[in-house]
Amino acid sequence: MTDVEELLARTRKLLADHPPADTDRTDFLRARFDAGLAWVHYPVGLGGLDAPRALQAVVDAELAAAGAPDNDPRKIGIGLGMAAPTVLAHGTDEVKERFLRPLWVGEEVWCQLFSEPGAGSDLAALATRAVRDGEDWVVDGQKVWTSSAHTARWAILIARTDPDAPKHRGITYFVCDMTDPGVEVRPLRQITGEAEFNEVFLTGVRIPDAHRLGEVGDGWRVAQTTLMNERVSIGGARIPREGGMIGKVAATWRARPELRTHELHRRLLDHWVDAEVARLAGERLRQQLVAGRPGPEGSAMKLAFARLNQAISGLEVELLGDEGLLYGEWEMRRPELVDFTGRDAGYRYLRSKGNSIEGGTSEVLLNIVAERVLGLPPEPRNDKDVAWKDLAR
Ligand SMILES: Cc1cc2nc3c(=O)[nH]c(=O)nc-3n(C[C@H](O)[C@H](O)[C@H](O)COP(=O)(O)OP(=O)(O)OC[C@H]3O[C@@H](n4cnc5c(N)ncnc54)[C@H](O)[C@@H]3O)c2cc1C
């Protein structure tokens, strides 16, 4: 068990051996990984020290105070928040050693090839096929809404390997090389004007069996690791008090006294309190995540995050009146990072609409909370024991 003093000593040694001002950014991040200070709750040798997750804040604060570079999580959120915990939980030793370091350092961007035109909320209905061919799998199908596919080097992918099995049991989980000639990425433009996400066509894509995560046919269980982490990663990011969306509207409120009314003041304070409660609930959730395996409670965090982001960004547009209706720029871009609170009030308002869809819609998360947190009876399902190929589509 690593304690605070030991962590601080290690962090200071890293800074002394690799002074941030004189060290190349990538070299510094690699050295940080090798010192076990990347994600302290990860195993020794894989960027961590087997320490309690809550101690990461101690390292981060010390490094930030010394002006050390970070790994720019907004560019590699899918890798950090979803691919890494899945690789850690289900990958072989070779897979962990190959992928985790460049992922954390940010040298290799990851994306998530899960959703399909016919499989979103009902993800287990997916139709992309993977067929075994010698030491490889050959993948054909179409994915959609794939954030960062245009910058990604690797993807986490789920595909159907047994159409005769019921839908949840015939799926296998892979790491897919986005530079394979069979991968075609086309931009999809969003309500914001940007194309953060894409549709991805997979034609004869070859994946070595060594890049399978978990057993053949067990991909649905492996995907649960990804999905539970995704919800925490979207809804439970660590933010300072009055950070995130509430910080934006509070700043406008302070800077523009002429816009204030009593009614807006009351609503702002309501949202401020809700945002602070959500932030503190996130802190508590993170402290519970000792082993890095979040449960369905993360779905409640993500629900609250989406509801608050939409309400608060709406209030900001209202506060700004006519000005709030202006939209800075609607030029088509393919951004390198996902930014929920960037640009202007109009962007924030429009981007927040996706918060109740991405990572599981709010309706689906309500179902998860009802069934798996509150223990209420599940929705009736008649497709659990039927072969996937016999289901109506
Ligand atoms: C900004 C953004 C980024 C995304 N990035 C990615 C990505 O990188 N990779 C990826 O794989 N996917 C990504 N997605 C896709 C996202 O996961 C899906 O859009 C989402 O799961 C919903 O699926 P769907 O769009 O097919 O909607 P559907 O599942 O068709 O849902 C349509 C409506 O029906 C409701 N509904 C469906 N089932 C139920 C039910 N059982 N009970 C009650 N209501 C229900 C839904 O809540 C929704 O309102 C992204 C989406 C967005 C918006």
DSSP letters of 316-336?
HHHHTGGGGG--S-------S
Lowest mean pLDDT among 132-136, 170-174, 374-378, 380-384: 380-384
Dihedral of CA atoms 229, 230, 234, 235 in degrees, nearest 10, equals -50
Query: If pLDDT is split at 50, 70 and 90, which confidence band does 363 have?
Result: very high
Sign of the Cα torsion 155, 147, 358, 280 reads: positive
Rounded distance from Cα 192 to ligand 1 centre (Å): 18
Check whether 180 has a pLDDT greater than 70. yes
Lowest mean pLDDT among 101-110, 282-291, 367-376: 282-291
Predicted confidence at residue 171, as pLDDT, reads 98
- Residue pointed to by tokens 């959500």: 278
Predicted confidence at residue 211, as pLDDT, reads 98
DSSP letters of 21-79?
GGS-HHHHHHHHHHTT-SSTTSPBTTTB-S--GGGHHHHHHHHHHTT-----TTTSHHI
Rounded distance from Cα 140 to ligand 1 centre (Å): 22
Check whether 274 has a pLDDT greater than 90. yes
Residue-wise pLDDT for 315-346, tens only, equals 999 999 999 999 988 899 999 998 899 999 99
Among the listed residues 199, 230, 297, 316, the single catalytic one is 230
Query: If pLDDT is split at 50, 70 and 90, which confidence band does 18 have?
Result: very high
Query: Across the strands, what pairs with 188?
Result: 197
Mutate which of 82, 357, 372, 376 for ligand 1? The one with the most ligand atoms within 8 Å of its CB, which is: 357
Q: What is the mean pLDDT of the segment spanning 257-263?
A: 96
3-class secondary structure, 213: strand
Predicted confidence at residue 201, as pLDDT, reads 98
The rounded percent of the chain whose pLDDT value lies above 90 is 83
Predicted confidence at residue 320, as pLDDT, reads 96
Predicted confidence at residue 2, as pLDDT, reads 65
Question: Measured from the CA of 359, which atom of ligand 1 is nearest?
Answer: 17
CB atoms within 10 A of CB 66: 15
Check whether 290 has a pLDDT greater than 90. no
Residue-wise pLDDT for 48-102, tens only, equals 999 988 899 899 999 999 999 999 999 999 999 999 999 999 999 999 999 999 9
Sign of the Cα torsion 317, 318, 320, 324 reads: positive
CB atoms within 10 A of CB 16: 9
Residue nearest to atom 2 of ligand 1 (CA): 358
Rounded distance from Cα 116 to ligand 1 centre (Å): 10
Please list every protein residue whose CB sits less than 6 Å from any atom of ligand 1: 111-112, 114-115, 120-121, 145-147, 197, 354, 357-358, 360-361, 363-364, 367
The rounded percent of the chain whose pLDDT value lies above 70 is 98
Q: What is the mean pLDDT of the segment spanning 206-214?
A: 98
Question: Measured from the CA of 360, which atom of ligand 1 is nearest?
Answer: 21
Tell me the residue ranges of DSSP E strands in 183-274: 183-188, 197-208, 212-213
CB atoms within 10 A of CB 135: 9
Check whether 361 has a pLDDT greater than 80. yes
CB atoms within 10 A of CB 246: 27
Check whether 284 has a pLDDT greater than 90. no
Rounded distance from Cα 234 to ligand 1 centre (Å): 14
CA-wise closest residue to 140 among 157, 122, 120, 118: 157
Query: If pLDDT is split at 50, 70 and 90, which confidence band does 204 have?
Result: very high
Residue-wise pLDDT for 296-322, tens only, equals 778 888 999 999 999 999 999 999 999
Interhelix angle 93-105/25-34, nearest 10 degrees: 140
Residues with Cβ within 8 Å of 336's Cβ and at least 6 positions away in sequence, in order, are 75, 151
What is the pLDDT of the chain when averaged over all its residues?
94
Query: If pLDDT is split at 50, 70 and 90, which confidence band does 169 have?
Result: very high
Predicted confidence at residue 328, as pLDDT, reads 86
- The secondary structure of residue 120, as a DSSP letter, is S
Check whether 133 has a pLDDT greater than 60. yes
230 flagged as catalytic:
yes
Predicted confidence at residue 292, as pLDDT, reads 54
- pTM, two decimal places: 0.95
